[in-house]
Amino acid sequence: MTVLDQTTDLALSAAMRQGSMAEHQAAEDSSCMAELLGGRVNERGYADYLLRLRVVYATMETIVAEHRADPAVAAVADDALVRLAAIDADLDHWLSEGEDRTVDSPAADAYRQRLLDAAADWPTLLVAHHYTRYLGDLSGGQAIGRILDRTFELDGAGIAFYDFPEITKPKIYKDGYRARLDALDLGPEDKDRVVTEVKTAFQLNQALFVELGAHLPSYAR
């Protein structure tokens, strides 16, 4: 029995979580993530991570806005989650004024292309990427923000990405988000497509960390 077979009878949010556990763990276990969580990545390394995230969020937030007529996208789209302005504010902190903000990243380019392809194929697939990124930001991302704040003695500067001022109770918000997913009217085949796309989203995230990991010696703090 495949993982997807095992998730058929689950609510959508539970199927998304259970069906992608292996990919999620692989992303979390990357060497770059371990170094970041250990406070051992320097300013340049974190800036390069942000530059890659900017590619992802700029693409995702544009196409989510374009497809809000899709019932699934409408169920989760929320301006309180939008991160692009926060990323740009953080880059102002981590990069020098006038420093080039383009990034040569095959992993980020592949992520961007998958988002575009998913939207063109079936906009409902966007919820897989939306769920993977934003619920991650409201969960483990909060720990990363605290580690950065402590490691670099930021006193809150340069970590706007992890600050959701309109979401004062992340757990309650995440519970509501999952409930909206579970209320979507998706049959077994469509649910499987979404779960498969969540797996893809985690693989794309892992690829970002693998790419950054190749530069770890120069990122050592």
Tell whether 10 is covered by a domain. Answer: no
Residue 8: its H or E element: none
The HSE-up count of residue 158 (CA atoms within 13 Å, CB side) is 22
What integer pLDDT is reported at residue 1 of this predicted model? 45
Structural domain span for residue 148: 26-219
What integer pLDDT is reported at residue 105 of this predicted model? 98
What integer pLDDT is reported at residue 28 of this predicted model? 85
Query: What CATH number is given to the structural domain containing 101?
Result: 1.20.910.10
CB 181 within 8 A of CB 13: yes
Q: In degrees rounded to 5, what are phi and psi of residue 220?
A: -65, 135
98 pLDDT tier (thresholds 50, 70, 90): confident
d(CA 3, CA 23): 12
Of 183, 179, 145, whose CA–CA distance to 164 is shortest?
145
Helix 43-66 with 188-213: angle, nearest 10 deg:
150
Please state the rounded mean pLDDT for residues 90-96. 96
Is 141 a residue whose pLDDT tops 50? yes
What is this structure's pTM? 0.94
Is 8 a residue whose pLDDT tops 80? no
